Amino acid sequence: MKIANVINVRSLELVLLTLLISGFILLGLVIGKYQLYPRFLNSMSLQQVIVEGRVNTPLESIEAALRIDKALPIVKWDMHAALPRVEEIPWVKSARLRRDLATGTVHVRLAERTPVSIWQANRQSHLMDEDGKIIPVPLAGFGHLPVLVGEGAPAQLGRLMEMLESAPEVKSRLVAATWMGRRRWRLVLDSITRGTTVDLPEAEPEKALAALNDMIIQYNVANPAIARIDMRLRDRIVFNIRRAR
């Protein structure tokens, strides 16, 4: 029994000694990790840039705005200074930047401005976004968008686009919209020269658009034979037939 008790004590001492040594080793590894990890981050340069939400924004514009020196550690890149530069790009409405120091990756998430029309004023044409603001970029590639005309029209564009969402047939065929006398819309469908002109009322134009949308679907009222549809009167709709040439 005495020998057995001695053996148990020695075994316990051996276990405690093993745990103590293991603890010192683990502590050394942890300390080493916290010493080496900052060095690793300080040496990690840019590996890649991931851009989300990009449709029209040129990649070279994003790269120029970020101003990342690939020779420097990514941890030294000023992300907060880069954000306003990215948001100054003409196509960018808002942006979010994030960097992954462990992988050397910069994440760019864009919310772009949506081009919806071409505003013509003073013999100049401008690409317009859904908020009625000019997008200062070349017009090439956007000739399919409806033309916007009339004093004060940009300020009313957002409301017009909102109403057109409930009249998809009209929206798909719209080629021009004129803000008349700063109070009502005149639309042209299908063609500037041979299309149908529609005069919307000043009051409740959204209801007139809904009715027009239904008439186009059911009766094909927007066709080359009909030159104009006047919806300004409360009790009637006037159709002007195009004369045959």
pLDDT confidence bin for 7, thresholds 50/70/90: very low
pLDDT in tens, 65-102: 999 888 888 888 999 999 999 999 999 999 999 999 88
Q: Which architecture does CATH list for 115-241? A: 3-Layer(aba) Sandwich (3.40)
Question: Taking the domain 48-112, which CATH number applies?
Answer: 3.10.20.310
> What pLDDT does 14 receive?
52
> Mapped to the 3 state alphabet, what secondary structure does the chain carry?
CHHHHHHHHHHHHHHHHHHHHHHHHHHHHHHHHHHHHHHHHHHCECCEEEEECCCCCCHHHHHHHHCCCCCCEHHHCCHHHHHHHHHCCCCEEEEEEEEECCCCEEEEEEEECCEEEEEEECCEEEEEECCCCEECCCCCCCCCCCEEECCCHHHHHHHHHHHHCCCHHHHHHEEEEEEECCCEEEEEECCCCCCEEEECCCCCHHHHHHHHHHHHHHHCCCCCCEEEEECCCCCCCEEEECCCC
Average pLDDT over residues 104-131: 95
Using the predicted structure, report yes or no on whether residue 43 has a pLDDT greater than 90. no
> What pLDDT does 211 receive?
96
Using the predicted structure, report yes or no on whether residue 30 has a pLDDT greater than 80. no
Using the predicted structure, report yes or no on whether residue 62 has a pLDDT greater than 90. yes
Average pLDDT over residues 158-168: 96
- Give the residue with greater pLDDT, 12 vs 216: 216
Question: Does this model's pTM top 0.85?
Answer: no
